[in-house]
Amino acid sequence: MTSEIIQAVIRGVEKHGAAIAGLPAVDTIKQVDRTAEGAVITTTIPRERVVMAQTPQGFRYSVMKKAFDEAAADGFVGTDEASLVERSGHAVAVVMGSARNIKITTPADMELAEFYLKASG
């Protein structure tokens, strides 16, 4: 994550009340139905309509509080804060992220992060 991405999210929040960093999808995205044997493709989602969500995610306090209160009242658990805000009916702006702004969830992700750190000096 860079200071430029952080600043872009802050500007997005100032303008829209909610913003996240994201990257346009480059892979072909398939929607599937799960079956006992695996999955069956039901449709191909146009790439230009998909972004890969990243952090940071930023929200005005009032927007986030309303979203969390509604989710708690309904027992809804989202995948990230933006999903709660979306569900609450508030638009979430997307600002350009970076391919180097990776989520670390596996040992391979950690190796990539270490590589990026060493490469940046």
Counted domains in the chain: 1
C-alpha closest to that of 24 among 52, 54, 45: 52
* Domain of 98, in residue numbers: 3-119
Tokens of 1: 């994550």
- The whole-number pLDDT of residue 1 equals 66
At 29-79, the pLDDT tens digits run 999 999 999 999 999 999 999 999 999 999 999 999 999 999 999 999 999
Q: CATH number of the domain that 104 lies in?
A: 3.90.550.10
- The whole-number pLDDT of residue 24 equals 95
At 73-113, the pLDDT tens digits run 999 999 999 999 999 999 999 999 999 888 888 999 999 98
- Gap between the Cα atoms of 32 and 38, Å rounded: 10
Whole-prediction pTM value? 0.83
